Chain A
Amino acid sequence: SQQGEEDPQALSIQEGENATMNCSYKTSINNLQWYRQNSGRGLVHLILIRSNEREKHSGRLRVTLDTSKKSSSLLITASRAADTASYFCATDTQGGSEKLVFGKGMKLTVNP
C-alpha cells in the first residue's frame, strides 16, 4: 500500500543550487519522515516532522508539512555533489502503528 509519492521523480541541478522535493500522501498521519539512500546502500534517516508541526530545519535541510493538502516538501539549500542520492518520504498511519509506508523515491543528481 503506497502512501507517499515523491515529485519530481528525478532532478538534476548544479552544485550550489537549491533542490526542492515534494511528497503527497493519502491518509491522516502522526508524522512524516524523509530518508536518503546512496546508490546501492541502505536508507538513512534525515528528518521527521510531526503532524502538528508546519516547518522544521536541520542544517541545510528544511521540511514543511501541510496536513490540509496532505503534502510535504524537502528543501536542500546550497547543494553539494555529495547530496547526489535517492530521497524517500515515509509516513506512518494514525493508530500507533510502528510501520512506515515509503514512497517510490526520487533521484537527485548534483553536478559539480
Chain B
Amino acid sequence: ETGVTQTPRHLVMGMTNKKSLKCEQHLGHNAMYWYKQSAKKPLELMFVYSLEERVENNSVPSRFSPECPNSSHLFLHLHTLQPEDSALYLCASSQERGGAPDTQYFGPGTRLTVL
C-alpha cells in the first residue's frame, strides 16, 4: 500500500447506527487531517492531529469523534448522524517541520450516505 488509504470507500448508515471511518498513511508523516466535502460547499477542515495530539477541532458536532492511536492511523467514529452529514469524508496527511508548511496528501475519501 502506498500513500493515504481510506476504508470503507462507500458507507450507508441509518441515523441510529454507529460506524467508523478508517484512514492509514504510509508516508511516515506526523500530521493527519479529516475534511468534509459536501456538494456545493468548499472543503471543510474538521480535525487536525499533530504528533498524535488533536490540535484543531473546527466546531465539529460531538456526533463526530476522531481518534488517532498512532501517527499512521486516524479514525472518525460516527454516531446518531443526520442526513445533512452525508458527504465525502477525506483524510490527509503531511509532514510538519517547525512551522514550515508541507504538502497535504489526500486519500480517496469515504462517500457517506445517512438515511
Do they bind each other?
no
- B residues lining the A interface (CB < 8 Å): none
- A residues lining the B interface (CB < 8 Å): none
